[in-house]
Amino acid sequence: MTLIDVDGIDVAYGDLQVLWDVSMTVDESDSVVTLVGPNGAGKTTLLRTLSGLLEPSAGSIEILGEDISRHPAEEIIDLGFVHVPEERNLFDEMTVYENLRMGSFTHRDQFDETREEIFEMFPVLEERREQKAGTLSGGEQQMLAIGRGLMAQPDVLALDEPSGALAPQLAERVFQKIEEISTDITVLLVEQHVDRALELADRAYLLENGRIATEGTGDELLESDHVVDAYLRG
């Protein structure tokens, strides 16, 4: 089954076009689909468009078979797509527990059960359940942002540079969690750690200057001359 079908979209901020004719597929059988590309390529813009925050001027997007242009942004989560933004958007003054509860608004009745699963996956969140989110370390905040996203029980969890600004050891721990999560649900992973993100990927896309420059399996991209020359050498 196709979870996400992006077909030839153009996206602009006012007069500034940022995405050109972008097509991308995420299938239920994919564990991880990775989107890589340099700063400013349009990766975040693509995730925002999938979340319904931006509207394509051309092309179409279907999430679990539903044309998202017929749904307001607040319904996209119900379709099964959750986007954890790069800036995480945690409620700093609320506790870990309260932040998790904010993530479960579409599945209130299953809050206790889902929260227990998330505490199992991220024991540090249980230890710090009464601590205010703003006082957590960067790595803990990233785990909380991912945990809060999982509370909505998505079919696709999109993560925008989850390892960004983390020390290498913490970044590696985040990648391990992503691998663990991806055994249950499909992860759409946007990353600048190109080699690690491609290793995890069943399917991968390289976005450059707002266009899909290369696509294939993670291994194919890891071996592509273009990817190696531009992103992996040195």
Ligand X SMILES: Nc1ncnc2c1ncn2[C@@H]1O[C@H](COP(=O)(O)OP(=O)(O)O)[C@@H](O)[C@H]1O
| Least distance between ligand X and beta carbon 97 (Å) | 31
Question: In the complex, which residue's CB is closest to Mg ion?
Answer: 44
Instruction: Lay out the sheet containing 66-67: strands in order across.
Output: 16-27, 2-13, 58-63, 66-67
Task: Using CB under 6 A, pick the residue from 15, 16, 109, 183 that binds ligand X.
Answer: 16
Element (H, E) at 138: helix 138-151
Establish if 54 lies at the interface with ligand X (CB under 6 A): no
Name the token pair of 118: 């998330």
Task: Using CB under 6 A, pick the residue from 26, 32, 43, 147 that binds ligand X.
Answer: 43
Q: Considering the complex, state which of residue 140 and residue 161 has its C-beta at the smaller distance from ligand X.
A: 161
Establish if 15 lies at the interface with ligand X (CB under 6 A): no
What Cα–Cα distance (Å) separates residue 66 from each residue in 53, 152, 183, 196?
Answer: 16, 18, 24, 32
| Least distance between ligand X and beta carbon 158 (Å) | 12
Q: Which of residues 97-116 bind Mg ion (CB under 5 A)?
A: none
Contact string 34-73 vs Mg ion (x = CB under 5 A): ---------xx-----------------------------
What Cα–Cα distance (Å) separates residue 227 from each residue in 21, 205, 222?
Answer: 21, 11, 7
The beta strand positions in 64-149, using DSSP E, are: 66-67, 81-84
Establish if 141 lies at the interface with ligand X (CB under 6 A): no
Residue 222: how many other CB atoms lie within 10 Å: 18
Name the token pair of 110: 């299953």
- Which residues here bind ligand X, judged by CB under 6 A? 13, 16, 18, 37, 39-45
